[in-house]
Amino acid sequence: MNILFYYPDKEKSVVLSSQMIAFQKQGHKVFLLTQAPEGDLHTDVKGYGVQTFNYPVKKKLSFFFYLKHIRFLISFVKKNKIDIVYSHIQQANLISSIAQYFTSARFILCRHHSDCTFVDYNFNERTADRIINLLGKEFIVPSKKVYDQLVKVEKVKNKKIHFIRYTYDFEQYPKADPVIVEHLKKTYNAKLLLLKVARLIPEKRHILLFQTVLKLVNKGFDIKLLVLSEGNQWDNLKKFINTNNLQNHIFMLGYRTDVMNFIAASDMVVHVSESEASNNFAKEVGLLKKPLIICNDVGDFDEYLLNMHNAIIIDKNNPSPQLENTISAIYRKDISINKLGEELYKTVISRFSIKNLINEYDQLNAERT
């Protein structure tokens, strides 16, 4: 069977590479087509026999951008006799939802967000979702939160939706480098070193964490926060740091490929996002057995995280007081966090390993629509 993975980006994605490599090992002929130039994702799968392609188009006028991608995708699917297309991320899904009507291939649109277009009231993205939902024939969702969003809020027929959790080949993750980890600990030496890894966009709520750090620093806490990634809130967050003289406490380090080193160097990971599908970073934290603070009713966290068993869970709607009190208690060692990371590791490995979930994709690939 010829299977195409269609994706906008080029950055490393263990979820996608795990599936591509697994399918290739099963004897399928697997293709990767991205809208971005060749990058880490292509490199990660080439050695396993996956055929990689890219078709970058400058996004000057949206109409022509989408038209060119639609025409190219149709041509690519026909030329390579693709049987199934797994399309990922809204931008690719919009293109796929139209292209599918001009080929005989089966298109499965993978939804990677829950309610973020409602949270930040983004008209263009909500419109794109409406078109995708109307035209899409099949969807995959990674969590009950996304399933409920599609069925109950966006009124997509449940018979069009497959519920399959994200799957990971955890052997693909690089090991933390002890030398670099020790260097990071010395460079950002503090009694409590926190880490936040998420796109710098409003729904990830970096400012809420920054405000909490400010309060604790003003109380005399020896605390530092490392922030990885990029996004449209960069300037606003930098301004907050400079205005409040937090340059020695909050460090914005941009996009990094060596995230595992930063997880290993930190004492605690904080992720107070208010909208997720199924967060990949939480699994990376679990892989390194680190404690994690998250909010309830976000993505699939409630499906596998239990408060004070394998994570610390705070209220999504009013997180600030709990976040401050929780970090304070950890700082004073009133809360023991040693076992949280150990339990998170056990949960992540048993629940999300591709070895345990690949059969669900096998069944899906065998279906006929």
**333: phi > 0 → left, psi -120 to 50 → alpha, else beta; which?**
left
The pTM of the full predicted model, rounded to 2 decimals, is: 0.81
Q: What is the mean pLDDT of residues 120-129?
A: 80
- Which residues on adjacent β-strands are paired with residue 84? 3, 106
Please state the domain extents for the chain: 2-169+353-366, 172-351
Does the CA dihedral 246-249-253-254 come out positive or negative? negative
Nearest to 349 by CA among 269, 300, 287: 287
Domains 2-169+353-366 and 172-351 share a fold: yes
Question: Is the pLDDT confidence value at 240 over 80?
Answer: yes
Distance CA 67, CA 92 (A): 12
Distance CA 232, CA 120 (A): 13
At residue 124, the pLDDT reads 83
Distance CA 84, CA 25 (A): 17
Query: 330 CB contacts (<8 Å, ≥6 apart)?
Result: 192, 267, 268, 337
CATH of segment(s) 172-351: 3.40.50.2000
At residue 114, the pLDDT reads 79
**pLDDT tens digits along 92-120:** 999 999 999 999 999 999 999 876 656 55
At residue 118, the pLDDT reads 60
Q: Which tokens belong to 198?
A: 């998420």
**pLDDT tens digits along 48-73:** 999 999 999 987 678 899 999 999 99
Greater pLDDT, 331 or 337 = 331
Other CB atoms within 10 Å distance of the CB of residue 79? 8
Question: Is the pLDDT confidence value at 262 over 80?
Answer: yes
Percentage, residues of the chain above pLDDT 70: 97
Q: Which tokens belong to 169?
A: 């080949």
Residue for token digits 């809020």?
Answer: 153
At residue 21, the pLDDT reads 96
Q: Is 80 helix (H, G, I), strand (E, B) or coil?
A: coil
Distance CA 187, CA 206 (A): 22
Q: State the average pLDDT for the chain.
A: 93
Question: Is the pLDDT confidence value at 369 over 60?
Answer: no
CATH topology of domain 2-169+353-366: Rossmann fold (3.40.50)
Residue for token digits 């669900």?
Answer: 360
